[in-house]
Structure 1
Amino acid sequence: MAREKEQRRESPIWMLADENLQDVLARLPDRVDRQSWCLVCKKFLSVEAAGRKYVHLMRPEILEPVLRRYPQIECLDLSSCVEVTDQCLAAVAKFTSSRLISIKAIRTKGFTIAGFRSLVECRFLQDVDVTFCTQVGDAEVIALSELRHLQKLKLDSCRDVTDSGLSSLSRCKGLRILGLKYCSGLGDFGIQNVAIGCQRLYIIDLSFTEVSDKGLASLALLKHLECLSLISCINVTDKGLSCLRNGCKSLQKLNVAKCLNVSSQGIIELTGSSVQLQELNLSYCKLISNVLFASFQKLKTLQVVKLDGCVIGDSNLSLIGSGCIELKELSLSKCQGVTDAGVVGVVTSCTGLQKLDLTCCRDITDTALKAVATSCTGLLSLRMENCLLVTAEGLIMIGKSCVYLEELDLTDCNLNDNGLKSIGRCRGLRLLKVGYCMDITYAGLASIGATCTNLRELDCYRSVGISDEGVAAIASGCKRLKVVNLSYCSSITDASLHSLALLSDLVQLELRACSQITSAGISYIGASCKHLRELDVKRCKFVGDHGVLALSRGCRNLRQVNLSYTAVTDAGMMAIANMSCIQDMKLVHVNVTSSCFARALLACGSLKKVKLLTGLRIALPSGVIRQLENRGTRLRWMEKAP
């Protein structure tokens, strides 16, 4: 206290009003920076609490104290809580009823219709997300329909919602965004009522539902509809799409991927009207034929075209290029018939292309890459996994010309160190995938580490030439890395983990089957990587309790861990189970007793998913399994050889 008083006398910052300090805090968008700011003194902490409007809660038992501490909360995320009870929702209503605008409870269990009725007391709610809350049904949706200010509602995978519940939403006149993906209990009647009542809807997702042409036709009433997603709606045909053309004049994005009964004719009829589509996804639509690509000559407004898994010829790609002159993104992943001539035809016309996906287009060669490098110098994303005919020379051309690349996927390509050195010219690179590239070594990685300082994600899966020196070069240069995958890089040792411990922003680390990794290396990570959320050390046989204990002490944000086939015993198991944030554990073939499993699984209150050996289904007390399932934990039983 004396020290704080002394600081007040010496520093003019104490003369600033709370409003001035809140303005300073508002200029710190990074979460880590904000946390550091709050630790300066009690005044800074109180100022932050008084102005905070968003809270992501990890444990429901502290909900009420948190709501008391932050009196200005407008957005509340409960998605990291396994169980959200009716009492929790009642507390939310009690403390935030006049302010709460947004609430997310993705994959949570525990609440009933009573909790939802409490939630409706937050009368200014605009955004509700209960995706994967399988207990939500018609009664809950009817309760939500009382929210007159509701603008966004996501009910994805709420399979008990039927037409009866959906029809009640017609009272929400201001509804603008509606997510119904995987709501398999829905039919046309509910969709029709929503279309009649919610005239301001501009985004609707009906993917994987039973909607048919009749329900789709009713969407023509939505004059403001901009985005429509119908993935795998097998009851939708060309007739339904043709009905849209008379009403949805503002439609900009259409996704009919995997709609098996949609053909070229339906797309032509829809786009033949005054509809000005900007994005079109036809992935895995088997009835798409050559006649459609000729119609692309008229679609001058198209900026995104996705044709993954379709059969496309060279002439069709050229038609896309000559017609869609504003094209910014083209996805041809796993397409049949894509050759050099087709790629040349499209990229030489669409010189403003920013994203190109050629994944598994196995017939393209350096000729195609030369055309990309020459014509699309502003390219931001290039994905070409498993393009085996491309050589290092072609990749060198990409590195020399496409210097603005931010995403590059060269998994299973003929990449070598010279190619990596050329790619090092792309100083804005944020994602680099070089898995299954057997010829890259320290020399190539050193060039990336020296220049690509903005790199956030690096995937070197099964690139066996990578050594500790290469990892050190990356870690010392790319200090902002958040995601690293070194699985099956069998040459790396604990020295690599000592280098990776320099990455203070690391959130995801995969080390599967890195057989030389030990608990000592994991301890380095536990001591330094405070923000780590996901760790995979499956088949790291020398990782045991010592490493796991270090993780439990240092990585308090760890949410997902794979310890299968490691040397972890009861002590390590209990250490992980007592971590407050852990949500997903894979524990196949670990040296843990059945009694410890029972104690640990019950102690882990945040657990959402766990993978166990089938034999434990008999060894664990039935009461333990029942309690876990009632709590909302998903148990996956695996039959795996030791």
Structure 2
Amino acid sequence: RLQELSVGGCGQLSAFALQRVTDVAKKTLVKLDVSQTGAKSPCFDKLITRCLGRGLTYLDCSGTAVSDQAFTAPDLSLLSVEQIMIGACSKVTDAGVAALASKSPELISFSSKWCAQLGDESVMALSKHCPGLKRLDLGNSKVTERGLLDLPAGLEVLSLEWCLHVDKGCVEKLRYLKNLKELNLSNCLCFAKPQNVATSKELCEVLKVNPDMEKLQLAGLESCGTEETLLVIRDHLPMLKVLDIVLTPSEGVSPDDDGDEDLSIVEAMQSLAENATLLTSLTLDLTRLPEKTASDIIMASLGLPNFPALRSISLTVESLSEAALETVLADRCSLDSIEIRGACPGLNDLALQ
């Protein structure tokens, strides 16, 4: 009667042992997690093929030695498969993903995070054969604009974290997706052409057509953390619950300035804080701002009654004063976690009390 088997992280578990267990539950098993198991023999591919063919709906084989062979058997049917995770599986190629996609018309969730060898062919195959896809994690892949131009219209979760070929033109074209609830563009830095990194202009075009967005991650994208982005979030994302952003000084203001010229970003952040009543998690990097501006943002935005639902705060700062820390902590009885990265002279026994 075994329906779910999770042995993720059992690095010494062999393919033979896994086969013995899964054979016992061959008629009932629907969910299988063998991530990070370390099985390396050719038997492992056969094991995955056998389990998939028996009616699995969920498979996580992230961080294993699984290869294309597991997905390319000509008689393999994956009609029941809904969720597949192959993150950090270096032996799976675009051909393997294409074969998997062609056999999985009911697939709703796919993750290939940290599969740096995968590119546009994988994404195009998923878009073609899996019209009901809702969640897609392509983190650290070679995907480009070519692969992202025709994603399923119903896609709700898209992660392109560390996709270094995703530039401003690519981000702008994502505005055809209008059902996004989660978007992760963290560290899409275009190292080869830094001048093509996405800016607030392109990002805001996407945000404006996705009013149901609940999670937005922009870590590392300095050019997206402007007043324009903050105000678009305020006006167009009423359902937002998670925000990760790097705030950036206005053009012409360096981090060494005293901040007097940069009041607009303080006001924009304060306005967002007053209106983002559902936000539960805030990750804020203020190290690109003048120290006074960063302090003003904390004092104006992070104290109650702003962000009333906040349960988790992560701040990266050059320095956090005692007054700023007290503003963050004052009466925040609902906080589950607070993380401060940077010098914190305000962190003393009195503040902790």
TM-score normalized by the length of structure 1:
0.46
1:374, CA displacement in angstroms? 4.0
Deviation at 1:132, TM superposition (A): 2.7
Q: Structure 1's 163 and 299: CA in aligned 2 closer, same or farther, altered over 3 A?
A: farther
The root-mean-square deviation of aligned C-alpha atoms, in Å, is: 2.6
What residue in structure 1 maps to residue 154 of structure 2?
276
Cα 1:422–1:431 change in 2 (3 A) is closer
- How much does 1:130 deviate? 2.2
Alignment of 1:364-513 (within 5 A): 365-387=265-287, 389=289, 390-398=293-301, 399=303, 400-412=305-317, 414-417=320-323, 420-421=326-327, 423-436=329-342, 438-440=344-346, 463=347, 466-467=348-349, 469-471=350-352, 473=353
C-alpha distance 470-344 of structure 1, shift in aligned 2 (>3 A): closer
**Aligned twin of 2:244:** 357
Give the direction of change, closer, same or farther, for the CA distance of 1:385–1:290 in structure 2 (3 Å limit): closer
Quick one: which of 326, 334, 339 aligns to 2:220?
334
* Unmatched 5+ stretches in structure 2: 189-196, 251-264
Instruction: Give the aligned partner of residue 322 of structure 1.
Output: 208
Change (3 A) 1:394 1:386: closer
- Give distance in 2, aligned partners of 1:315 and 1:134: 46
Q: Deviations over 1:379-408 (max 9, x none)?
A: 111111443524333223322321111111
Q: Does 1:158 align with 2:37?
A: yes
Structure 2 CA distance for aligned equivalents of residues 194 and 336 of structure 1: 47
Deviation readout 1:467-489 (Å, 9 max, x if unpaired): 2x444x2xxxxxxxxxxxxxxxx
Match of 1:74?
A: none
Letter in 1 for 2:173: S
Superposed CA deviations along residues 4-56 of structure 1, whole A, max 9, x for unmatched, are xxxxxxxxxxxxxxxxxxxxxxxxxxxxxxxxxxxxxxxxxxxxxxxxxxxxx
8 Å Cα contact 2:280-2:311 kept in structure 1: yes
Contact 1:156 1:179 in 2 (8 A): yes
2:169 to 265, 277, 291: 291
Cα deviation 1:245-283 (Å, max 9, x = unaligned): 222122111111111x211221222x1xx4411111101
Matched letter for residue 408 of structure 1: I
Give the structure, 1 or 2, with the largest relative contact order (CA under 8 Å, sep 6 or more): 2
For 1:606-633, what per-residue CA distance to the aligned partner results, in whole angstroms no more than 9, with x for missing partners?
A: xxxxxxxxxxxxxxxxxxxxxxxxxxxx
Contiguous gaps of at least 5 residues in structure 1 = 1-123, 441-462, 474-642
Map of 1:208 onto structure 2: 88
Q: Where does structure 1 differ by over 6 angstroms across 4 or more consecutive aligned residues?
A: none
Distance in 1 (CA, whole Å) between partners of 2:275 and 2:42 is 51
Contact 2:83-2:108 within 8 A present in 1 as well: yes
Instruction: State the secondary structure of the residue aligned to 1:337.
Output: helix
Q: Normalised by the size of structure 2, how large is the TM-score? A: 0.81
Over 3 Å counting, the alpha-carbon distance change for 1:275 and 1:140 in structure 2 is farther
Residues 468-520 of structure 1: per-residue CA shift (max 9 Å, x gap): x444x2xxxxxxxxxxxxxxxxxxxxxxxxxxxxxxxxxxxxxxxxxxxxxxx
What fraction of aligned residue pairs are identical, expressed as a percent? 19
1:331 deviates by 0.5
In structure 2, the partner of 1:263 is: 144
Equivalent residue for 1:175, pick from 56, 60, 65? 56
Give the partner amino acid of 2:69.
Answer: F
Amino acid of the residue matched to residue 178 of structure 1? L
Mapped pair 1:192 → 2:72: yes
- Cα pair distance change 1:354/1:178, threshold 3 Å: same
1:299 deviation in Å? 1.2
User: Number of paired residues?
Assistant: 318
Cα deviation for residue 418 of structure 1 reads 5.2
Which secondary structure state, in structure 2, belongs to the residue aligned with residue 159 of structure 1? coil
Q: Deviations over 1:543-597 (max 9, x none)?
A: xxxxxxxxxxxxxxxxxxxxxxxxxxxxxxxxxxxxxxxxxxxxxxxxxxxxxxx
**CA distance 1:369–1:136, shift in 2 (3 Å):** same
C-alpha contact 1:253 1:278 (8 A) present in aligned 2: yes
Residues 31-42 of structure 1 mapped to structure 2, 5 A cutoff:
none
**What is the aligned partner in structure 2 of residue 143 from structure 1?**
20
Considering only CA atoms, is the larger Rg found in Structure 1 or Structure 2? 1
2: CA distance, partners of 1:352 / 1:421: 25
